[in-house]
Amino acid sequence: MPGKLSAFMNDHVPGYRRMTRLPGQVFGVNPFGGDIRPTRVPVLQPGSGRPALPFPHPWNFDEPIRILETYFWGADDEQGAGRHNRYLDCPGFSPILVTRDPGVIRAITTNTGDRAGQFDRDTLPSTGIARATGKDTLLFANGAIWKRQRKLAASPFGKTTLFQPEMFHEFAETFRSTITLRLDALRNHFEQTGQKTLSISLEPEIKVVMLEMIVNNFFGAEVAYEELRDRFVPALERVIDHIVRDTVINQIGISIAKMPSLNARIAQTKQDYASFEELTARVLAVRKKATGLWKQFRSDAPDEALRSNIKVFLAGALEATTSYATWTLSHLARNLPAQEKVYQAVQEIEDYTPENLESANYLTHALDESLRLTPSLYFLPRRATADTRIETADGRSLLIPQGTHILLDVWHANRHDDFWGIEATGYPAHEFVPERWAELAAAGRASKETLHFGFGHGPRVCPGKHLGQLEVALVVGAFVKVFQFKALHPENPAKAGVSTKPLDGTLVELELR
């Protein structure tokens, strides 16, 4: 009877669960159960040297990796479950669980879905995205709406569709055409200046190529390279920056469209959102022609019902693929022997088919190592919809209370020696070593066992996974075949927002092979 009464009160009395948890929060009672119980993180810890407060606010929201580091400040001195699992519990709020334990990450992502009692994707870190694109998207939605959106995306995003010869050749030809123009410009520069090398930031160049392949190849629209470079890429960059800021600062939830243009920044942002809307409209306009992957789209939904997802895809795919490619090139620019091995793997490739790219083993290893060390998706947000007990593959268990906000810290899980260090893989976890993947394979460690979560995992794995792998393998492979390049700075720190990227914009000294 007490249990039934409590359940009734939870379901029908607003704030009941919060009130019942308050005494435990005040007295520091651990709300988690099982044998992976996390260690509590204090909100304030004067004199500890922690890099940040353990939550985003207007003065640290642009340093999310440092916020995650705060949770594990001093954790390596522990030997129990708290070494890789930490929580924050402030009176009156739901607890926040942060884990860098791959076993826990895998168990939670596997148990994320639309069924009762499964974890949801936590929408709290994505409120800015929802205001920019809409709430009915594959990224933001949960439950039945997410399941329906996922089904619509399955066919055009699937590996079987993307890796059809005619589709892949369109990607390759677009890239070949663009890179030919850039090569001609580079040769002209060398001839006019008498120089043999050029210092250049690769991120802006790669971003335009990626958007060109998404807009013109994937959707079959026809937007000129120059217009993408000069107008749409800069607008999308500023929109994405605004989304990150808006998530933390705009607690009232006012849409940018309803804000008066009180200053130049707001006016520019509104103009950028208009450009974003126009690009989305141009992509939707070719749907009736069944160009690109539209021919694979099996739905009679009106264009307006698709607009939000198209916007998420344009911004999200551009962010993720640019991150993936620039990180890989950034690592290769600082590891010239690895760059040479990638060149040896791709130098004989004339036809960039999926089969030829997959057969270039060292290129594949370099791409996997980049996703491990510097993943685009540096954390995965989840939320417990009910009191939920998970069990890891090695038999450990964790009871997570309903309402818990969960940050699956992929960035630090992939960089910790406990999971990716010398004993586990033969090499230090913090170093870029593509050879680690060949040795793992030789040791019989299957890819399902050594997960880097580069595209997420489980039912809510990134739907653009195969597209991202295809595009980035093509861009990196072709780039290394044409150019030699080395970094201008030895260090390679990250900047993080919606995704992670090299802080220096992948600044390299470039020359033709």
Do 182 and 229 contact (CB within 8 A), yes or no?
no
Contacts of 68 (CB under 8 A, 6+ apart): 98, 378, 379, 407, 409, 411, 412
DSSP label of 119: B
Do 88 and 41 contact (CB within 8 A), yes or no?
yes
Measure the CA–CA gap between 206 and 47, rounded to whole angstroms: 43
For residue 281, the tally of other CB atoms under 10 A from its CB is: 12
Q: What is the separation, in whole angstroms, between the first and last Cα of the chain?
A: 77
Measure the CA–CA gap between 496 and 203, rounded to whole angstroms: 14
**CATH fold of 151-512, please?**
Cytochrome p450 (1.10.630)
Contacts of 1 (CB under 8 A, 6+ apart): none
Pairing of the two strands 96-99 and 405-408: parallel
Measure the CA–CA gap between 385 and 398, rounded to whole angstroms: 15
What does the pLDDT profile of the chain (513 residues) look like in tens digits?
455 555 555 665 556 677 888 888 888 899 999 999 999 999 999 989 999 999 988 888 889 999 999 999 999 999 999 999 999 999 989 999 999 999 999 999 999 998 989 999 998 888 888 888 887 777 777 888 777 777 766 555 555 555 556 666 666 677 667 767 776 777 787 778 888 888 999 999 999 989 998 898 888 899 999 999 999 999 999 999 988 888 888 777 777 777 777 788 888 999 999 999 999 999 999 988 887 777 777 667 788 878 888 888 899 889 999 999 999 999 999 999 999 999 999 998 877 777 777 788 999 999 999 999 999 999 999 999 999 999 999 999 999 999 999 999 999 999 999 999 999 999 999 999 999 999 998 888 766 678 899 999 998 888 778 778 888 998 899 899 989 999 999 999 999 989 999 999 999 999 988
Q: In the structure encoding, which two tokens stand for residue 432, read together?
A: 């870029």
Three-state SS letters, 14-30: CCHHHHHHHHHHHCCCC
For the chain, which residues make up each domain, given as ranges? 1-150, 151-512
Which residues on neighbouring strands pair with residue 512, listed in sequence order?
A: 483
Do 277 and 303 contact (CB within 8 A), yes or no?
no
Do 326 and 203 contact (CB within 8 A), yes or no?
yes
**Distance, C-alpha 387 to centroid of its chain:** 28
Contacts of 88 (CB under 8 A, 6+ apart): 40, 41, 43, 54, 55, 71, 95, 96, 98
Q: Which is it for the CA torsion 172, 177, 178, 180, positive or negative?
A: positive
Contacts of 182 (CB under 8 A, 6+ apart): 205
181 sits in which H/E element: helix 165-193
253 sits in the region (left: phi over 0; alpha: psi -120 to 50; else beta) called left
The DSSP result for 195-217, as a single string, is: -S-EEEEHHHHHHHHHHHIIIII
Which residues on neighbouring strands pair with residue 511, listed in sequence order?
A: 484
For residue 340, the tally of other CB atoms under 10 A from its CB is: 14
Measure the CA–CA gap between 346 and 356, rounded to whole angstroms: 9
Contacts of 275 (CB under 8 A, 6+ apart): 231, 232, 235, 236
Helix 303-333 crosses helix 202-212 at what angle (to 10 degrees)?
140
